[in-house]
Structure 1
Amino acid sequence: MTDWLIAQQGVLSAALLFLLLAERFLTKRMGAVGTYALWLLVPLTLIANNLPFDIVAVESTSITRFVVGMTPNIASNDINILFSVWAIGASAITSFILVHHFYTWHSISRQKAIHTDAYYSSKAATPMLFGFIAPKVLLPYSFKSVFSQSQQSLVLEHETMHQKQFDHVWNTLALVLAAMFWFNPLIWLALKSFRINQELACDYHVLKNKSEVERITYAKALVQCAEACSKNITLYPTFGEKTTMMKRLNAIKQPASGNRLIAAAALSIATLFMANTVLANAPQAEIKKASAKINEAWPTKRIEPNYPEKAIEENIEGYVVLEFDITETGATDNIQVVQSSPKGVFDKNALAAFKQWEYKPAINNGKGVRQQGLLVQLDFKLAPEPLNANASSKM
């Protein structure tokens, strides 16, 4: 898992940097809707970087030898520290998201707010679209006392527009990616920029056919929401987020018409980036010849076979030679006994243990490469071996 996460960081970071710059410098030039659409680059890039190409197999004819003693022991690197750290961080963020969602859900009033399709909630400091699957518009209890009827209509139209744009789906995906790639600081900067583009795009759709008076009314409602906005962390876009207020007010004051040339250039860059990602991971004719030297096949998780009791009692030693594959993720596969001595004495225990071994997968252009036809010899010894007994040797 850690190898896969690390393999995604190059293309992911490049895509996020491009989008951060686009939100900062291109929003006024190509329009809020166009800039918001560019965020599709993130999931599409991850998909392109993980397309299931038929990878050319790496073959090996060398035999790596390990000594099996009477006392089983697990290799010291059995514990993957990096994976543990990642799992703790991802679990903590996921737990926070679920707890926050649970408390917000329980704060929702059972009945809809009068004359609206929204619900009151004690957790909603300002109007917001809440939910991952079946979203609801939530309103603070002060909604009707704070806003005029015209403002109420515009605010509700804004939240409904979020739902029409399927923003609850995109926000859910954004939170999943944030939890998965939490260790990359760019993911958190990008999450903020993504939300800004989302709000600006929604504002544009609401105001594009509105009069100047309605635009001013909308801007005043935005300021009123920002004044009442809670300082607590929220996982959902709210109408009056202070961090995005000034950009939204400026966009209302000076709406961007959108430059088609700049939009076409940005789209071309995104398309070329994706195409390069796909081509970089495509199989190449030279892989088979060169990839044998990518990395030595050495286990990262080693489970010692149990020494058969009958063999101990009869003072029997021997060996088992196994042929196997290493998958793209480092697991052992297609294991079979090719030679053993004495025949049938150690085979069963050797197979049972070796199925649990894990290897560092061969990596080519950020993708795991299946290695086929590798050989390993497990030497079952009753007596202690010299210090260099565990070293690999070619036969």
Structure 2
Amino acid sequence: MKIEGNVVVTLRLKVTSLDGVILDQGAEPIRYLHGGHGGLLPKLEAALDGKSVGECIQVTLAPEDGFGTYDAALVTAVSPDCVEAPAKVGETLEREYEGVALPYRVIAVDDRNIQLDANHPLAGKTLVFSATVMDVRSATPEEIAAEIAALNQAMRDVMVKNRAIAQSKAEAESAAEAAILAEAEAAGLVESTYLPQLGTRLRFVFRSQTHKLCWLAPLFLLPAVAAWLGYHGWEISCGVIVALWIAWSFAAPSVIGKAIKRWGYQFLFFDFSPNLNPSRLENAISFGGGLLSVLAVLVYTVVALFHMERLSDLLTIIGLDLAILFALGIPLMVLLPFLVMVLTAFRVRPVVDKDLKGLSLSPEAGK
């Protein structure tokens, strides 16, 4: 009798990896109802079509045809306080989501965290299945009805499990983002902007000081370009620059974050490594630029006061003081150290001063 729809097949099935490591010896035979009832992997079942007792097959299945691709989002960390007994690598723990107990394998344990993995142990692996047909017989109506009922129940269970997995992923991602945000705030890499019109505060999370400065520098330069264009009567060009400035304000952290993720820390001659500690030269330039800006304002104020004829001139002096401070302070305190950091990244300081694991990121709400 050949294998076809609605026959009961008994197999001896061995599973190995591509390099020949035995993952399942197949000591006990397996029995299933052939014909798409979910008792066997679809491609493996298709390979058995038309086979008879005593015949053998060997099928190599990619992860997507076997036990699925490996999903890093199904790996999460919990505190040791969350488990009743000390966890050991390799054992299985259960966590409940929406009334569904999801099995997690313990993959790492330290004093602070227990790393849990909800992926199937064979997820992400290319597998070789070797099957020998031991018996083939016609299924009874009762067996077919029972198998159909079991398949329907299994499909409902899968839907419930998928919802539970989605919830577990959302919780894991939320916990990871909270940890990243806390670390970034401690490192001074979070910028907050309050919008009174919307009644909300936007937060921008950056990977490094370079990442932060690449966002800030155009914010100071573009308005100056727009003002120059407007002063010369090029209103359309001025409007385009203003629109670019607004877009850059909100999109730059995300754009730079994605570029870092795709091309790594160094791209476009910029060093975006997690550099939280400026070099001595950068600090000296920043301090000297600030001091020079203040001295320039003081000198101008003293000279202007001696030439002041009316009290109302004091308002003009104060306004020009602020303009001088802005015009000198921004290039000398921000842009010049930034350029030094970019142009001498590999000579003035180490590429990475401090490692922020997992700090990548695009703006969050805005990050």
TM range (shorter): under 0.3
With normalisation by structure 2, the TM-score equals 0.25
Give the number of the structure with larger relative contact order, counting CA–CA contacts within 8 Å between residues 6 or more apart: 1
Larger Rg: 2
The structure where helix makes up a greater share of residues is: 1
